């Protein structure tokens, strides 16, 4: 069985109720089942966590699945704090050994000291911004995608651990124009993405 760690970064804050990310995690749990060949552990950051337990989960997992909203063009502060705390404590505990450089050549190979070779990760994000804000040259993100723009440092963080990316999935326009019909559409599209990514269907 493939071992999956689901990290739920949903949180009630400001305009965000955190509910959609919690819902996406529930969609995960209906998919990552023993019948489909998966063993699952979860972390809900909002509920609190023990750092040593989190390190054990990360080292146990074959696949890390992240769910979080984007607040002010980056990760929500509880998610960033979780990553800062857990990754820092994971030094030489199975997550990364060093920054990859050697004393004989100190300017080369930075970021190659990860200890999680052979593992993968997938990220979903939720946005108030519509998809067109990323696609059109005269719109806010200047044709820069979520993954090549706002999430570029997040992806390099994972690369620092030697994790390899699976295709991301981003949910757009989830506040101003959210409807029950849109939620059902998201559900269908996301399950299709999971099937394609993990079961090749």
The CATH number of residue 149's host domain is 3.40.50.360
State the pLDDT at residue 14: 65
Q: Residue 118 has which token pair?
A: 């052979």
The mean predicted confidence, pLDDT, of the chain is 94
Structural domain tally of the chain? 1
Q: CB 88: neighbour CB atoms within 10 A?
A: 11
The size of the chain, in residues, is: 201
Q: Residue 123 has which token pair?
A: 């990220």
First to last CA, the chain: 18
Residue 15 has pLDDT above 80, yes or no: no
Q: Cα separation of 122 and 38, whole Å? A: 15
73: left (phi over 0), alpha (psi -120 to 50) or beta: left
Residue 112 has pLDDT above 80, yes or no: yes
State the pLDDT at residue 119: 98
* Mean pLDDT, range 31-51, rounded to an integer: 97
Q: Which band of pLDDT confidence, cut at 50, 70 and 90, is reported for residue 177?
A: confident
* Mean pLDDT, range 147-175, rounded to an integer: 97
State the pLDDT at residue 11: 81
State the pLDDT at residue 175: 87
Buried b / exposed e across 43-69, counting CB within 10 Å, b at 16+? bbbbeebeeeebbebbeebebbbbbbb
Residue 16 has pLDDT above 80, yes or no: no
- pLDDT tens track for 62-95: 999 999 999 999 999 999 999 999 999 999 999 9
State the pLDDT at residue 17: 63
* Mean pLDDT, range 132-158, rounded to an integer: 96
Q: Which domain holds residue 144?
A: 2-199
Residue 176 has pLDDT above 90, yes or no: no
Torsion (CA) 170, 172, 175, 180 in degrees, nearest 10:
-90
Taken in order 52, 97, 115, 6, is the CA torsion positive or negative?
A: positive
């Amino acid at each position: 069985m493939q071992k999956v760690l689901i990290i739920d970064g949903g949180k009630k804050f400001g305009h965000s109720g955190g509910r959609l990310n919690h819902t996406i995690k529930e969609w995960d749990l209906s998919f990552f089942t023993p019948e489909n060949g998966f063993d699952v552990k979860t972390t809900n950051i909002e509920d609190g966590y023990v750092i040593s337990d989190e390190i054990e989960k990360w080292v146990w997992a074959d696949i890390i699945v992240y769910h979080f909203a984007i607040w002010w063009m980056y990760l929500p502060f509880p998610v960033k704090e979780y990553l800062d705390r857990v990754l820092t404590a994971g030094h030489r505990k199975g997550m990364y050994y060093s920054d990859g450089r050697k004393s004989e050549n100190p300017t080369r190979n930075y970021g190659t000291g990860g200890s999680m070779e052979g593992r993968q990760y997938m990220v979903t994000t939720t946005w108030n911004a519509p998809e067109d804000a990323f696609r059109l040259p005269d719109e806010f993100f200047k044709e820069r995608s979520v993954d090549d723009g706002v999430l570029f440092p997040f992806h390099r963080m994972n690369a620092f651990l030697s994790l390899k990316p699976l295709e991301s999935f981003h949910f757009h326009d989830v506040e101003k124009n959210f409807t029950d019909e849109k939620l059902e559409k998201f559900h269908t599209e996301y399950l299709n993405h999971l099937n394609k990514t993990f079961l090749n269907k």
